[in-house]
Chain A
Amino acid sequence: MPVVPDPKPANSSERPQPLGSTIGRKVVMALSGAVLVGFALAHMAGHLKVYAGRDDYNAYAAFLQGLGGLKWLVRFGLLAALVVHVRSGLTLAARNKGARPHAYAVKRAQRSTPYGRTMLLSGLVFVAFLIYHLAHFTLGWVHPQYFALKDALGRTDVYGNFVRSFQSPIITGTYVIATAAVSMHVAHAASSVLRTLGISSGALRRSCERVGPALGVLLFVGFASVPVACLLDLVKP
């Protein structure tokens, strides 16, 4: 009897790997991105305390440092979210690039935004900034002169370090550029997350499409205002 070959190879459409599919990766990227945006908002709210003055800010910083185990749990959680997010982003970007090997001679964008089309760039700028940012405020490797100060109560004078750092136009400029990159990233991403998770459709669509740009503006104003205020001497060390 002749052997009839199986028309469908076992690894094709019959047994898909859900998380390895394009949509699976998108869902993973959306969820990890949502975690990172959640942290960004909390971080922004926290550092707006600079406007409340040295005492409040240093107390807040000491409180965070005192969280011990919880602090490390959050740190590892964020690192994991970042790694997963970057990995799925890079994998998808490579795939998307391969899907159109030959570019159009003329291509007119109808609906996409410049910030939506530069997600890879804004994301990579952010990662580079993140390394610098951690080296600046968490590890004290760069600009150590702003790292060692103590306040009157003997606490690390995070407030003083912070405000003095941003009196430098170069440091403030770097932070403002990085903030712009993150804000542009989130302006596209947040609305994108809502569609990837299937929420942005029907009656909810218009509101969902406003979430991204609104969050982008909020993050930019919230994050950039403090270094700029320090530079302009509106906040004193």
Chain B
Amino acid sequence: MRLQLHIWRQKNSREPGRLVPYAVQADEHMSFLEMLDVLNAELIRKGEDPIAFDHDCREGICGACSLVIDGVPHGPRAATTTCQIHMREFPDGAEITIEPWRAYAFPVVKDLMVDRSALDRIIAAGGYVSVRTGAAPDANAIPIGKNTAEKAFDYAACIGCGACVAACPNASAMLFVGAKVSHLALLPQGQVERTARASRMIAAMDAESFGGCSNHGECEAVCPKSISLDAIAKLNREFMRAVATGES
């Protein structure tokens, strides 16, 4: 299949970028990233600068891949990362625009690659449980009900890709923060630091200049792990809990 691509090229975070047209011959069984590999091989052959894009596992679990494909973060398939999109999703001769995640908090490193360490700093502010190191604790030493365990697991499924930020009209990180806060607030291990965690992570999120949540729901629609907006409702409850207990 022949494709007409419009790809965002940008040298670094300081220089302005622009959309550059490329034609590429691809196979419908290729993944989206393999199609870009083919284009890059061609660019290298011609002595041109290959297109920089993030990827690692290429099996939908690491959260590195991050392309806005025709205006939708992670492309046309629901609950699917960019690396799991295949070219059969597109008609022959398709024109596809590819842009990076766009947010003040995600500066472009090069081309389609952005710096998402803002999300790491939010996690470092409280997205963990403090445990004493030593021998591994006994499995099942702390019983957790099945429903709670499953709910916590659903929130824990977040891979930190940042598509929620990319999709949000306000570039808000509420779904990401909500997923982590909810995950740990549901589990007994998370109780000790529960209130401090919520207020610290919210403060860290604000300090990174992410926007606020307007409840549009764009994040949930593009999240490759189908994290529910319930995470945001829960984050709001955890915030009010922190204010009420005076621990904010």
Contacts and interface: CB of A to CB of B under 8 A. Distances in A.
Interface of A: 12-14, 16, 18, 21-27, 92, 95-96, 98-113, 116-117, 119, 188, 191-192, 195-202, 205
A196 B218 contact: no
B210 interface: yes
16 contacts: A14-B200, A18-B242, A18-B243, A23-B235, A92-B211, A95-B209, A95-B211, A100-B102, A105-B8, A106-B97, A111-B216, A111-B220, A116-B216, A195-B233, A197-B236, A199-B233
Contacts of B72: 108, 110
A110 B104 contact: no
A204 to B, nearest CB: 9
Closest 5 CB pairs of A and B: A99-B211, A198-B237, A16-B203, A201-B233, A96-B170
Contacts of B222: 110
Interface residues of B, number: 55
A208 to B, nearest CB: 9
A33 to B, nearest CB: 12
B214 A96 contact: yes
Interface of B: 6, 8, 19, 68, 70-72, 97, 99, 102-105, 125-126, 167, 169-172, 199-200, 202-207, 209-218, 220-222, 228-230, 232-237, 239-240, 242-243, 248
Contact of A18 (B68, B70, B170, B239): B239
Contacts of A12: 203-204, 207
Contacts of B8: 105
Contact of B172 (A99, A108, A111): A99
Mostly, the B contact residues are mixed
Contacts of A197: 236, 240
Contacts of A13: 125-126, 200, 203-204, 207
B212 A26 contact: yes
Contact of A195 (B99, B232, B243): B232
Interface centre among B8, B221, B237, B239, by most chain A C-beta atoms within 10 angstroms, is B239
Contacts of B205: 22
A22 B212 contact: yes
B101 to A, nearest CB: 10
A115 B222 CA distance: 20
Contacts of A98: 104, 209, 211
A14 B200 CA distance: 7
